[in-house]
Amino acid sequence: MVLNSLFPSRFYIYFLRRRFVVLKLILLVCLIWLTVAALLFMEDRNRSGVVIESLDNLNNVDRQSLKNVDDNDNLIQPVAQAQIAETPSAETVDKNADKMVLHAPEKGEFDEDKNKMQYGEWGKPVILPQNLSSDIKKLVEEGWQRNAFNQYVSDLISVKRKLPDPRDEWCKVPGRYLKNLPATSVIICFHNEAWSVLLRTVHSVLDRSPAHLLKEIILVDDYSDMHHLKR
């Protein structure tokens, strides 16, 4: 009896072993969690820095189709300028209120050249060739730095780009909606938005809204500091 009291029982030893196993599992889970958290933190830091898409990893494009594209097609095509008057001072707002209105374009004013290559039509991706010049690569990188997306490609896409109609067939049936509705104002808020993206947003409202229902489009600049938004 004395000897048995001096040594721990088998049950007690088994209990200690099980407890150590549980502690090891807890430590392992904590270590894995810390590792994953550290990796996610580093990934977020990388994303918040300069975002540049590696041009060397772009997908291969159809060489034959590129032969039909002129060298000028690889340059940024200037987008159509919107009919927006400069913001007047508060003293002349009432007198020049009509000048601040973005009027709908006249029919045929911004018609696209059918013989010109249309980038991004019907939602098709724009794939840049791998053999871009150093100047074009610089433009692509600058676009990524300013906007965190490929502004160079955005500037190639028409402001009146055509897109497929994603609505359900039930919604496309004529007569589904009332026509005798009050006109409405569309407010678009933006901050340091790329010029081509902003114009495309405005034209999407103009081109896809019934004329008798669209009263005006109001652009609200949320303290942008980019030069092209201060004109």
Higher-pLDDT residue of 92, 10: 10
Higher-pLDDT residue of 8, 121: 121
Q: What is the pLDDT of residues 136-191, one digit of tens each?
A: 889 899 889 888 888 888 888 888 888 888 889 999 898 888 888 999 999 999 99
**Residues 163 and 89 grouped into a single domain:** yes
**Residues 35 and 103 grouped into a single domain:** no
Beta-carbon contacts of 204 under 8 Å, excluding residues fewer than 6 positions away, are none
**Residues 59 and 38 grouped into a single domain:** no
Query: What's the structural domain count of the chain?
Result: 2
Helix (H, G, I), strand (E, B) or coil at 103: coil
Q: Is the pLDDT of residue 54 over 50?
A: no
Q: CB–CB of 206/217 below 8 Å?
A: yes
Higher-pLDDT residue of 78, 211: 211
The CA-based dihedral angle spanning residues 186, 111, 231, 197, taken in that order and rounded to the nearest 10 degrees = 60
**Residues 173 and 200 grouped into a single domain:** yes
pLDDT for position 184: 93
pLDDT for position 83: 37
**Residues 69 and 151 grouped into a single domain:** yes
**Residues 61 and 105 grouped into a single domain:** yes
pLDDT for position 191: 93
The mean pLDDT of the chain is 72
pTM for the model stands at: 0.49
Q: What is the pLDDT of residues 63-73, one digit of tens each?
A: 443 344 444 44
Give the E-state strand segments of 108-192 in sequence order: 184-190
Q: CB–CB of 159/81 below 8 Å?
A: no
**Residues 24 and 89 grouped into a single domain:** no
pLDDT band at 111 (very low <50, low <70, confident <90, very high): low
Q: What is the mean pLDDT of residues 116-123?
A: 80
By residue range, what is the domain housing residue 137? 55-229
| Proportion of the chain above pLDDT 70, given as a percent | 61
Nearest partner of 228 among 79, 49, 89, judged by Cα: 79
